[in-house]
Amino acid sequence: MNRALGIDYGDARVGVAISDELGMLAHPLETIAVKDTDPVARVAQLVKERGADPVIVGLPRNMDGSHGPSAEKARAFADKLRETAGCTVRLWDERLTTVAAQKALHAAGKNARQSKSLIDQAAAVIILQGWLDAQAMLG
């Protein structure tokens, strides 16, 4: 089974997570600073280096399920990544993942300043783990 990448897309930072070889567990990989690096090019490079396919991009939805400006940005990122990396790209509901990531890091003793770049990776882990769990349930 190929590894999968999970992406928490943001305007300033992009969190990246990767699955284990068995496709059971998601692990943090890196945080891409958008001002320093083209996130599409970097994720495409990770796809190639890690043999990852698919890439799961978090789709931020409003609590009522509707899509706002952030969702459109995530869709545009996913479309560019699909063209550039030549891999399967799926969108996955990411409602409250950043909040869950912040709570988990706080519970681990990290304050907001210490965990700024880790929050994006943790959110990417939550996105990817949710997708992996759903795949396992589907058989």
CATH at 88: 3.30.420.140
Task: Please state the domain count of the chain.
Answer: 1
The pTM for the full model equals 0.87
pLDDT tens for residues 50-108?
999 999 999 987 667 777 788 899 999 999 999 999 999 999 988 666 666 667 767 76
Looking at the chain, the whole-number percentage of residues with pLDDT higher than 90 is: 63
11-25, 43-57, 107-121, 124-138: range with lowest mean pLDDT: 107-121
Looking at the chain, the whole-number percentage of residues with pLDDT higher than 70 is: 82
Residue 120: what pLDDT? 87
Instruction: Considering only residues 36 and 137, tell me which one the structure prediction assigns the higher pLDDT.
Output: 36
CA distance 53 to 70: 24
Domain carrying residue 42? 3-138
Find the radius of gyration of the CA atoms of the chain.
14
Instruction: Indicate the pairing of strand 26-33 with strand 52-59.
Output: unpaired
DSSP string, 4-53: EEEEE--SSEEEEEEE-TTS--EEEEEEEETTTS-HHHHHHHHHHHHTEE
CB-CB contact of 81 with 94 (8 Å): no
Contact partners, residue 120, CB within 8 Å, separation at least 6: 8, 10, 13, 14, 15, 31, 101
